[in-house]
A and B are shown apart, each in its own frame.
Chain A
């Protein structure tokens, strides 16, 4: 199936009334999540995971992708109006958006953020359309050793790039891998790490871990932070929300630069939208003829951050769908939802379930159109959501997640587990343990283990199979380099500083 045929199939899937409705609902939920401080996109997908069980895999992924994209659009609203970044990727948006709002340009800033998101989001879906099949084609030649090396590389990248400590990142991965091993071994049938508990024989459901670690711990953190919301005025007329032509012309070179940055960085496991938006913002400042305006309301700084942040969505979907390697907690949860529905993302997805890949890709084009409508003319309406008291929101979240987690297995044990993981998640966050590697490891754990054991069966127990196959060897070397990258970088910086300091002394 070529790209044109694929897209036609995709649009036929995405434009069914039910899927359009899921995309619309997802876009609204995503925007709501984006504008609500203290409600992250990963936590929301975790909350909604149990609800997606009754849906077809394509529909559930369409809704989750719309939430994912919607949260990026919505994130700009609180950053601009309240100087409150919902996620770290929105920090550069605050740096320029809030000063613009203080100058009385909140409307154009919101408008420009939405337009930047639309341009970059749409271009990144074009990237996904073109590169997705190519990536899947390349990955078709992969056997278990290459697959093991690739998943291992994904885990190493996530470990080294998220969080502040390599040791804590590694512990998070090991914790996730260990949780994934609880229950019956898929190859031998032996029960592992169940501690005699009948409830653990089937393993720990990924949803329980995701909801506990992300959703519940986030509620605890928000209660600790005593989230308070102070809202700035938003103009009600569309004309006052639109940026001027001068603003748009000023931002075109920024969009051209930032969109590919967002897409490429978003596709790398562990880097994601935060790195993309900071990198893009930094570049916009570096190439600007008037860098002194940055931090005081430079419109191209806002465009750089927003376009890179939104372009990362298409980029991050590509490896998840075509290689089966999610790069972030959000895409890991989407992958988990597909696996639970009996669909295995990876190179064979395009062969076996083309309607899912192309349906989601097509829905992201539609989703971007829905989102620009929600985030431009309807923005005065959506900011009213911010008037909802947080205590109502979190209690409803606890109730919904409890019902969802209970209905997985009709087991109260899962609720206990969710509670304990919520407390663990809170402690992990307080102590700077990154949570994304843990969730990723839990999703990838069974795949890593199966690929490793199949490889060793192929080689009759010899570990040299990972070194004698060139692609696997290169990927493993990259994995080791990626893992130790922070230490290598630290050592190089120290060496550089040492070299510079005697020179300074002489001067």
Chain B
């Protein structure tokens, strides 16, 4: 977080306040969902609380704390440090990293886990870190081979081979 004080928006609401307000409402929504789920469970069993007891009160706690946070961030006059946002470049890098990761989670089983890791390496080096193709390809191949030796050969983990299973 940067040390500067919050910048005020159009209606005197700071960015940090606005984000916290949104999140407090999200917490309330989570609470409502948890309470709804807990109501389908037995609240009290013989002599004691049932499986729905604690989830119910956790849901209630989410709602109460969500509203408390909303009140605090809306009405508190306390000066807070400003919410530091990532630079455009960093935000783009983070987005690409997560896209790469979710892409790997989506395709890993189909194309093979290790091949997926190799492609993830290549993607992160080329797209996120802007390294040259040659260097990225070399690093990716070396690392994938190292992972294959350590995890498949050394630790005998059975990772999904995807279509490469045909060659096993």
Kindly identify, within residues 115 to 164 of chain B, every residue whose CB is under 8 Å from any CB belonging to chain A: 117, 120-121, 124-125, 128-129, 131, 139, 143, 147, 151, 155, 157, 159-160
Please determine whether A398 and B20 come into contact, CB atoms closer than 8 angstroms.
Answer: no
- The verdict on A192 contacting chain B, using a C-beta distance below 8 Å, is yes
Please determine whether B117 and A402 come into contact, CB atoms closer than 8 angstroms.
Answer: yes
Contacts of B44 in A (CB 8 A): 461
Bound Cα distance A181, B34 (Å): 11
Cβ-neighbour of B117 out of A195, A225, A399 (below 8 A): A399
Task: With CB as the reference atom, state the residue of chain A lying closest to B44.
Answer: A461
Bound Cα distance A431, B17 (Å): 10
Please determine whether B49 and A178 come into contact, CB atoms closer than 8 angstroms.
Answer: no
Binary CB contact string for chain A from 426 to 467 against chain B (1 if under 8 A, 0 otherwise): 110011100000000000000001001100110011000000
Task: With CB as the reference atom, state the residue of chain B lying closest to A51.
Answer: B155
Bound Cα distance A399, B100 (Å): 12
Please determine whether A399 and B143 come into contact, CB atoms closer than 8 angstroms.
Answer: yes
With contacts A224-B90, A395-B125, A403-B151 taken as known, whether A190 is within 8 angstroms of B51 at the C-beta atoms is yes
- The verdict on B98 contacting chain A, using a C-beta distance below 8 Å, is yes
- The verdict on B94 contacting chain A, using a C-beta distance below 8 Å, is yes
Kindly identify, within residues 43 to 76 of chain B, every residue whose CB is under 8 Å from any CB belonging to chain A: 44-45, 47-55, 58, 61-62, 65-66, 68-69, 72
Please determine whether B83 and A226 come into contact, CB atoms closer than 8 angstroms.
Answer: no
Bound Cα distance A225, B90 (Å): 8
Task: With CB as the reference atom, state the residue of chain B lying closest to A420.
Answer: B102
Bound Cα distance A452, B37 (Å): 21
Closest chain-B Cβ to A284's Cβ sits at a distance in Å of: 26
Contacts of B98 in A (CB 8 A): 220, 419, 422-423
- The verdict on A267 contacting chain B, using a C-beta distance below 8 Å, is no
Closest chain-B Cβ to A380's Cβ sits at a distance in Å of: 27
- The verdict on A54 contacting chain B, using a C-beta distance below 8 Å, is yes
Bound Cα distance A187, B66 (Å): 30
Task: With CB as the reference atom, state the residue of chain B lying closest to A391.
Answer: B129
Contacts of B120 in A (CB 8 A): 395, 398-399
Bound Cα distance A431, B23 (Å): 9
Kindly identify, within residues 173 to 201 of chain A, every residue whose CB is under 8 Å from any CB belonging to chain B: 174, 177-178, 181, 185, 187-188, 190, 192-193, 195
Q: How large is the interface on B (under 10, 10 to 19, 20 to 34, 35 or more residues)?
A: 35 or more
Task: With CB as the reference atom, state the residue of chain B lying closest to A179.
Answer: B58
Bound Cα distance A328, B89 (Å): 34
- The verdict on A280 contacting chain B, using a C-beta distance below 8 Å, is no
Closest chain-A Cβ to B159's Cβ sits at a distance in Å of: 7
Please determine whether B104 and A402 come into contact, CB atoms closer than 8 angstroms.
Answer: yes
Contacts of A171 in B (CB 8 A): 27, 62, 65-66, 69
Bound Cα distance A448, B73 (Å): 31
Please determine whether B48 and A453 come into contact, CB atoms closer than 8 angstroms.
Answer: yes
- The verdict on A142 contacting chain B, using a C-beta distance below 8 Å, is no
Contacts of A422 in B (CB 8 A): 98, 101
- The verdict on B13 contacting chain A, using a C-beta distance below 8 Å, is no
Closest chain-B Cβ to A431's Cβ sits at a distance in Å of: 7
Please determine whether B48 and A192 come into contact, CB atoms closer than 8 angstroms.
Answer: no
- The verdict on A396 contacting chain B, using a C-beta distance below 8 Å, is yes
Kindly identify, within residues 98 to 119 of chain B, every residue whose CB is under 8 Å from any CB belonging to chain A: 98, 101-102, 104-105, 108-109, 113, 117
Contacts of A431 in B (CB 8 A): 19-20, 23, 83
Closest chain-A Cβ to B2's Cβ sits at a distance in Å of: 11
Q: What 13 new A-B contacts, CB under 8 Å, besides A177-B58, A190-B51?
A: A165-B69, A167-B68, A174-B65, A178-B34, A178-B62, A188-B45, A190-B41, A223-B94, A223-B128, A403-B113, A403-B151, A407-B159, A449-B54
Identify 22 residue pairs between A and B in the complex whose beta-carbon atoms are under 8 Å apart, listed by A's number.
A54-B155, A171-B65, A171-B66, A171-B69, A181-B55, A192-B52, A192-B55, A193-B37, A220-B97, A223-B97, A391-B129, A398-B124, A399-B121, A402-B101, A403-B117, A403-B159, A412-B105, A416-B105, A431-B23, A452-B49, A453-B49, A456-B48
**Chain A interface residues (CB < 8 Å from chain B):** 54, 165, 167-168, 170-171, 174, 177-178, 181, 185, 187-188, 190, 192-193, 195, 216, 219-220, 223-226, 391-392, 395-396, 398-399, 402-403, 406-407, 410, 412, 415-416, 419, 422-423, 426-427, 430-432, 449, 452-453, 456-457, 460-461
